[in-house]
Amino acid sequence: MEKRNIRAKGKSTEGNKNTGRKSEDSRQKKAVIVGCAAAIAAGMVLLTILSVAMSAGKVPIWAVKGIGLILGCLLACIGAFFCARHAKQNGFFLGMLCAGILFAAGMLGSLAIGETPGFWALVKLFSMLLCGCLCGSIGVNLKQRKKGF
């Protein structure tokens, strides 16, 4: 009879261990959603600025691929940074996941308008993954400032 009381009071069961894992998984899923949403919002703003500059004749047409690569890397950095800051752990892998999701969204968009993927898509994928990993690691390891002087 005493063994039952000790188990009930002191030690956790398998059910309690699983609920802790589920809450961690849901926190990481929320962090990925927050990171991707922040990157998409920033991407909408930056693409609007780019389209205004292109329509005004300030951006040559030959520079669009390079600007797209830079923009993709910047969005991967933004998404990974906010994802890692929200999750507070696993910045490298969550940053890579955010960058992969953003690349997949961009690839689906380009396929929808009829473009064919080539070598440039592979370059963009690896550069976005690299930027996502680096900025995710920075986002986790960045110390928060103390309030006050």
Dist. CA 110–CA 114, nearest whole Å? 7
Give the tens place of pLDDT for each residue, 47-97: 999 999 999 988 888 898 899 999 999 999 999 999 999 988 888 999 999
Give the tens place of pLDDT for each residue, 84-135: 999 888 889 999 999 999 999 999 998 999 888 889 999 999 999 999 999 9
> How sure is the predictor about 37, in pLDDT bands with cuts at 50, 70 and 90?
very high
Which comes out higher in pLDDT, residue 21 or 126? Answer: 126
- What contacts 88, CB < 8 A, 6 or more positions away? 140
